[in-house]
Amino acid sequence: MTEKTIPLLPCREIQPVVDFYTALGFETTFLQKRPYPYAAVRRGSVELQFFGMKRYDPARSYSGCYVLTDDVDGLHAAFRAGLKAAYGKIPARGLPRIGPLKDMSYGMRQFLMTDPGGNTVRVGRRIDEDGRHRPAPEETFARALHLADLFADSKGDLPGAARIIDRVLRREDERPAPGRHLQLLVLRADIAQRLGDDDTARTLLDRAAGIPLTEEEAESARDALARLAELRS
């Protein structure tokens, strides 16, 4: 017998959620408004189901699921394209939104997206079979980036991630290498934008764009450079 798990996720209104997943290329396989709102969507082997709750607050949601894929880069590109076509832009904050693609310290290359119901779907590909968190690096700025990434995209603590980066960039006794500096600035700008602080985000992005990189440094910071281009567009 083959078993399959299908997440059941809450939302306040069904139709905006169905529209979101339609933009991502999902097919609606079931939709009802009465006697209670319920919907099911499918894209390939990924199936999600949703139920409506009148008093549900999407902004306070902690629900979600993880989707494993062999082609996380391809899905990220396809989802971004679908959202841009449907919404006229790629939503990066508020609800709905889609986040950057990045390598995490627990052996996953992933991105996060949150639907209008507040459900966060993590989409990732294994890049290391050891799924345990790596120890934080010893080097000051690599450690700060490691911890800030975890706070922002695993713990969901954006203010905490911002404090980590702000504190380390204020240090006067040592300075980060150019590639690491760019990564920290881009992550901090991303956090600022998600918190609604557009002025700070623009200032940080301008600083990041002005950092000269060697070819080797640019390769090691390729995800941050891609995010920099997205945030400045």
17 token code pair: 């959620």
For the chain, what percent of residues have pLDDT higher than 90?
Answer: 81
Q: What is the pLDDT of residues 72-125, one digit of tens each?
A: 999 999 999 999 999 999 998 889 999 989 898 888 999 999 999 999 999 999
Which CATH number covers residue 48? 3.10.180.10
Q: How far apart are CA 19 and CA 190, in angstroms?
A: 26
- In this structure, the answer to whether residues 91 and 185 fall within a common structural domain is no
Which CATH number covers residue 197? 1.25.40
- In this structure, the answer to whether residues 13 and 91 fall within a common structural domain is yes
Longest Cα pair distance anywhere in the chain, in angstroms? 65
β 46-52/38-43 pair status: antiparallel
DSSP string, 95-130: SSEE---EE-TTSEEEEEEE-TTSPEEEEEEES-S-
In a domain, 1, yes or no: no
Asked if residue 7 has a cis previous peptide bond (ω within 30° of 0), the answer is no
Mean pLDDT by runs of 10 across the 233 residues of the chain is 91 97 98 95 97 93 95 96 95 90 90 96 90 81 94 88 97 95 96 92 96 95 92 85
Domain that residue 52 falls in:
8-125
